[in-house]
Amino acid sequence: MEAQTIVQPEKKKSNQDVIIIKHLNKSFGSNKVLVDFNINLEKDENLVVMGKSGSGKSVLIKCIIGLLEPDSGTIEIFGRNIPDLDRNELDEIRAKVGFLFQGNALYDSMTVRQNLEFPLRRHWMNVNQPEVNKLVQEALDDVGLKHTINMMPAELSGGMRKRIALARTLILKPEIILYDEPTTGLDPGTAKEIIELIVAIQKKYRSSSLIISHDMNCVRLAADRVVMLIDGRCYAEGTYDSLKKSGDPKIKDLIE
Amino acid sequence: MALPVKTTDFLQETGGISVFTGRFFKEAFKPRYEISEFLRQCFVIGYRSLPLIGLTGFIMGLVLTMQLRPSLIEYGVESQLPAMVGIAIVREIGPVITALIFAGKIGSSIGAELGSMKVTEQIDAMEVSGTNPFKYLVVTRVAASTLMLPILVMISDAISLFGSYIGVNINGITSFPLFYTQVFNNLGFSDVLPAFVKSFFFGFAVGIISCYKGFYSNKGTEGVGQSANSSVVISSITIFVIDLIAVQITNVLNLN
Ligand SMILES: Nc1ncnc2c1ncn2[C@@H]1O[C@H](COP(=O)(O)OP(=O)(O)OP(=O)(O)O)[C@@H](O)[C@H]1O
Ligand SMILES: [Mg+2]
């Protein structure tokens, strides 16, 4: 089946792509997860990738950050091809790209403060303590959880954990943020708060975001553009409104 | 079941641990060195197992002495009691029992800790935070357990001998200087050195096996328990195998 573009997205204010993925293939054994997958993320945009559970969304985002190695294809971030980079070069890129894990991945054995300090100290080796304190406070302020600074992740609720994970992602002021299902497992109210937080953060830091989600609220409120990942391909792409009008059953299936 | 039952499993496991060990040596000597995490692990692994190892060491020395006494009286060599116990503890019982307890306490905790970090993607989170998780988690823990176990064995030996002194004094009076002289006149360099050297190997085995089991833990929370369990089982068996090899080597080298 050929990938089809339902509606060409209207041209963006800036026409600079920060992520360009071309002909990406990834399979696990005989399970072909991504097949000749192509997308790009433009500067300052919120791109939402939709897809059914198990369609390979997490695999895609892990390939982008270099946690999984694709079988073939190129993933360019700031003009550099991720699969070709060694660890040091990857770390340089990763300092500018935030990643919010689907399951938060907070360090259980560390306090909230230590969780937030970890990426700071690891990526910016020469940062001093007052600077670290200031950034930690600022990040916690952004997500509205200043009072949890000395708590352990186990003492937090699911929504709070998501916010702390978000704070940890934001603390390096990344130029690109990758969100893996930021609202799954949360009640609709909390989910909406997280989405609003994501939009606010995007405005504040002028970062580009790639958001994986099948939450319609998230798509409606946050997406400048939507890509549908179906059968391992970029099946359709366009704005929420344009995709909503589509008669294709597979698209309707995803967008309700 | 934690024990690899089938031969293929056994071979796969052995192969996996060998490759993992190779990677340890490759990564351990390349910068960046995780000194502060290494020191923290020395504290956690060494200091925190001290009470348990001290207690078991004391009881071991005491009980061994009390058990040996009747036989020695029967042969009329009761005066040799301190010498016999000293040799038994320093050459064999001290290192092996300490290592087994170490495997039970530290092996299971490393297996469970790394296992749960793996399952909840904390290891991936470290990776994207500019950290080589193998260096940060595995190299530090293996190095710490390799260095800490010999020290724990020495401490345990000393406490065991003290327990033995008390055991000797339960049925009769021996002054401490006399006991001390009797023990150390019969202990040679060739008794102490092989025991000391083999405890490094015991510590290395416990560290590398439990890190391996944790680092490649299966998905799901069930995998965490399995990692902890098989860390202890495989480490314990390996300790006996190393002990067997060590005694052969000391025999060949004529160190007796
Ligand atoms: N490490 C792995 N080894 C083998 N197969 C994998 C691995 N990771 C993912 N897969 C397979 O890839 C496919 C896509 O998985 P992925 O986690 O990307 O789904 P997803 O779209 O993120 O789903 P969800 O919405 O449930 O998170 C699944 O069939 C999964 O079994
Ligand atoms: Mg996923």
Please report the ipTM that was assigned to this predicted complex: 0.89
Q: If you average pLDDT over residues A193-215, what whole number do you get?
A: 89
The C-alpha atoms of residue A196 and residue A200 are separated, in whole angstroms, by 6
Nearest by CB: B121 against A87, A103, A123: A103
Mean pLDDT calculated for residue range A190-216 = 89
Q: What is the CATH number of the domain that holds A52?
A: 3.40.50.300
CB-count burial class (<10 Å; 0-12, 13-18, 19+) for A8: exposed
Q: Which of A109, A50, A18 is nearest to A238 (CA)?
A: A50
pTM of the model: 0.89
| Domain encompassing residue A148 | 43-70+78-227
Using CA atoms, how far apart are residues A164 and A134, in angstroms rounded to an integer? 16
Strands A31-42 and A208-212: unpaired
Percent of chain A with pLDDT over 90: 62
Instruction: Provide the number of structural domains found in chain B.
Output: 1
- B116 CB within 8 Å of a chain A CB: yes
Q: What is the pLDDT of residue A42?
A: 92
Q: Which of A59, A71, A100 to mutate to test the pocket of ligand 1 (most atoms within 8 A of CB)?
A: A59
Specify burial of residue B247 (Cβ count, 10 A radius: 0-12, 13-18, 19+): middle
d(CA A28, CA A16): 33
Give the alpha-carbon dihedral of A102, A105, A106, A109, to 10 degrees: 160
**A26 found inside a domain:** no
What is the number of the ligand 1 atom nearest to the C-alpha of A102? Answer: 27
Instruction: Provide CB contacts within 8 A for B189, sequence distance 6+.
Output: none
* The pLDDT of residue A209: 94
From chain B, the residues in CB contact with A115 under 8 A are: none
Residue A121 pLDDT > 70: yes
Would you state the structure tokens that stand for residue A56, as one six-digit string?
Answer: 């390979």
Q: Residue type at A205? A: Y
The DSSP-derived string for A40-87 is: EEETT-EEEEE--TTSSHHHHHHHHHTSS--SEEEEEETTEEGGG--H
Residue B112: its pLDDT value, please?
Answer: 94
Instruction: State the pLDDT at residue B256.
Output: 59
Q: pLDDT tens for residues B181-213?
A: 989 998 888 889 999 999 999 999 999 999 999
**Ligand 1 atom 31 nearest Cα:** A54
Looking at the domain assignment, is residue A250 inside a domain?
no
| C-alpha to C-alpha distance for B3 and B229, rounded to whole angstroms | 9
Task: Report CA(A52)–ligand 2 centroid distance (Å).
Answer: 9
What's the sign of the alpha-carbon dihedral B88, B93, B94, B95? positive
Instruction: Tell me if B17 is assigned to some domain.
Output: no
| Six-digit token string for B177 | 């200087």
User: What mean pLDDT value characterizes chain A?
Assistant: 89
What DSSP line would sit under B15-49, residue for residue? Answer: HHHHHHHHHHHHHHTSSPP-HHHHHHHHIIIIITT
Position B4 in a domain: no
Residue B12 lies inside a defined structural domain of this protein: no
Q: Is residue A82 part of a domain?
A: yes
Residue A115 host element (H or E): helix A112-123
All residues at 6 or more sequence positions from A223 whose CB lies less than 8 Å from its CB, including other chains:
A46, A47, A48, A211, A239, A240
Q: How confident is the model at residue A15 (pLDDT cuts 50, 70, 90)?
A: low
The more confident residue out of A63 and A245 is A63
Cα(B148)–Cα(B110) distance, integer angstroms: 15
SS3 B2: coil
Q: How far apart are alpha carbons A204 and A247 in whole angstroms? A: 37
Q: How far is CA A7 from the centre of its chain?
A: 23
**B118-121 LR contacts (CB < 8 Å, sep 24+):** B118/B214, B118/B215, B118/B216, B118/B217, B118/B223, B119/B217, B119/B218, B119/B219, B119/B220, B119/B221, B119/B223, B119/B224, B120/A103, B120/A105, B120/A108, B121/A101, B121/A102, B121/A103, B121/A105
Instruction: Convert B45-77 into a string of H (helix), E (strand) and C (coil).
Output: HHHCCHHHHHHHHHHHHHHHHHHHHHHHHHCCC
pLDDT value at residue A252: 83
Q: Is the omega angle on the peptide bond into residue A163 within 30 degrees of 0, that is, cis? A: no
Answer whether residue A218 is part of any domain: yes
What pLDDT was estimated at residue A197?
A: 87
Does A59 sit in the ligand 1 pocket, CB within 6 Å?
A: yes
| Contact present, A101 and A139 (Cβ < 8 Å) | no
Confidence of residue B3 (pLDDT cuts 50, 70, 90): low
Domain that holds residue B134: 32-255
Tell me, using a 6 A CB cutoff, whether residue A230 lines ligand 1.
no
Confidence of residue A1 (pLDDT cuts 50, 70, 90): very low
User: Using 50, 70 and 90 to split pLDDT, how confident is the model at B255?
Assistant: low
Within a domain: B25: no
What is the band of B6 on the pLDDT scale with cuts at 50, 70, 90? confident
CB B105 within 8 A of CB B231: no
pLDDT > 90 fraction of chain B, expressed in percent and rounded: 75
Q: Which of A194-198, B137-141, B251-255 has the lowest mean pLDDT?
A: B251-255
Per-residue pLDDT, averaged over A217-235, amounts to 90
B25-66 pLDDT, tens per residue? 999 998 889 999 999 999 999 998 999 999 999 999 999 999
Contact predicate A234/A228, CB 8 Å: yes
> What is the number of domains present in chain A?
1
Section A116-131 average pLDDT: 91
Write out chain A residues lying below 8 Å of B118, CB-based.
none
